[in-house]
Amino acid sequence: MKTYLNEIKENENVDSLFLVKEKSSGLTKTGNAYLKLKLVDRSGETEGRIWNSVDTFSGSFEKDDFVHVKGKVISFQDHLQLNITHIERVKEEDILLSDFFPTTEKDIEGMFQNLVEMSQLIKDQHLCHLLGLFWEDKPFVERFKMAPASTRLHHTYLGGLLEHTLSLTQLVLKNVSHYRGLNLDLLITASILHDLGKVDELTYHRSFDYSDEGRLLGHIILGIERLESKIHQIPDFPKDLAIQLKHLLLSHHGQYSWGSPKRPMTLEAVMLHYLDDMDAKINGIQQFLKTQVSEGSRWSPYHPAFERFFYLPTFGAEMQLINNIEENGSEQE
């Protein structure tokens, strides 16, 4: 069982898996070599030291490896430190990414099932076929279920992309029938695929960051490429339908300065932009409030990207506070 770094205590023995964030060597005052490590997991980080069998251990793992560590917690200069007696490399497939990175609080498989069911509401055969091709693409689905939705602003946790995608699709279903003349099939498809390219744009196996193609091309273009390659496999996919679907992906950021090369020009694109932006902002603020507001305070610190403080009101008993967000899987529209 995983021991989390924010729970270790002086004098305890530790036997668990960690990620090596930094690795360097030093010399003791008596001239012996030792290894200095920074170990991390999703809960925090700690210094580690290897004083014995340095030569043996040193070659057996590298920075950015996951490792199995045995050792003892000591206190040095007011900080806890791990004196490591055994360390060995562990393969990525033998660890749980969620032990090392923040992870959605929701059930990933349940959310995914829910999204697949929503995609089955689509009646248009070409769009059905298209989504089917994505669901059959196992490597894609694996990444789609684990990726965060952003490195910094919203849904910044494993499963965040799926959570945001599901949330947006639910919002679309709630709102689409409010206006006359919107294309339901197109909107469901677009909401499911709108951030598709993030599976290629972001890396999340060592830290949440951008891939080379992510920085140079961006998820909008990467998504268009994945989409085009699936459409290509469908005989007679209508050209006009493909153009509109791509337009929804291209324009969903809503304005040039947010990296959309086109602004929304159809009613569906306008709705998709507003609901996507609202979902990202509300999640981003909720995450910020949850992690940054000190107890007893009604104000968040200043949020530099949103350029404002946020206020957390308290309400009397009488108020109808929304406490029960719909659970995945039990959504009944």
Q: Which of residues 268-287 bind a second copy (CB under 8 A)?
A: 270-271, 274-275, 277-278, 281-282, 285-286
Q: Could you tell me which stretch among 19-27, 134-142, 153-161, 184-192 binds a second copy (CB under 8 A)?
A: 184-192
Alpha carbons within 13 angstroms on the beta-carbon side of residue 84 total 25
Q: Could you tell me which stretch among 24-32, 78-86, 151-159, 308-316 binds a second copy (CB under 8 A)?
A: 308-316
Provide, rounded to whole angstroms, the least separation between the CB of residue 1 and a second copy. 30
The verdict on 308 binding a second copy (CB under 8 A) reads yes
Q: Could you tell me which stretch among 28-36, 106-114, 143-151, 305-313 binds a second copy (CB under 8 A)?
A: 305-313
Give the number of other CB atoms < 10 A from CB of residue 113.
13
Provide, rounded to whole angstroms, the least separation between the CB of residue 91 and a second copy. 24
**Max Cα separation, the chain?**
81
- d(CA 187, CA 264) in angstroms, rounded, equals 13
Provide, rounded to whole angstroms, the least separation between the CB of residue 278 and a second copy. 4
Provide, rounded to whole angstroms, the least separation between the CB of residue 325 and a second copy. 5
**Binder of a second copy out of 155, 218, 223, 328 (CB under 8 A):** 218
Which residues partner with 48 through β-bridges? Answer: 37, 82
**Binder of a second copy out of 243, 301, 327, 329 (CB under 8 A):** 243
Give the number of other CB atoms < 10 A from CB of residue 235.
7
Q: Could you tell me which stretch among 15-23, 96-104, 155-163, 239-247 binds a second copy (CB under 8 A)?
A: 239-247
The verdict on 295 binding a second copy (CB under 8 A) reads no
Which residues partner with 88 through β-bridges? Answer: 68
The verdict on 321 binding a second copy (CB under 8 A) reads yes
**Binder of a second copy out of 176, 192, 196, 202 (CB under 8 A):** 176
Consecutive H or E run containing 34:
strand 33-41
293 neighbors 299 (Cβ within 8 angstroms):
yes
Q: Could you tell me which stretch among 30-38, 73-81, 151-159, 181-189 binds a second copy (CB under 8 A)?
A: 181-189
Give φ, ψ of 229 to 5 degrees: -70, -30
| CA-based nearest residue to 152, from 102, 196, 194, 217 | 102
**Binder of a second copy out of 52, 136, 174, 297 (CB under 8 A):** 174
Q: At what angle do helices 239-250 and 267-292 cross, to 10 degrees?
A: 30
Consecutive H or E run containing 165:
helix 160-176
- d(CA 242, CA 255) in angstroms, rounded, equals 21
Tell which positions 130-169 bind a second copy, by CB under 8 A.
Answer: 167
- Residue placing its CB nearer to a second copy in the complex, 91 or 314: 314
Give the number of other CB atoms < 10 A from CB of residue 289.
15
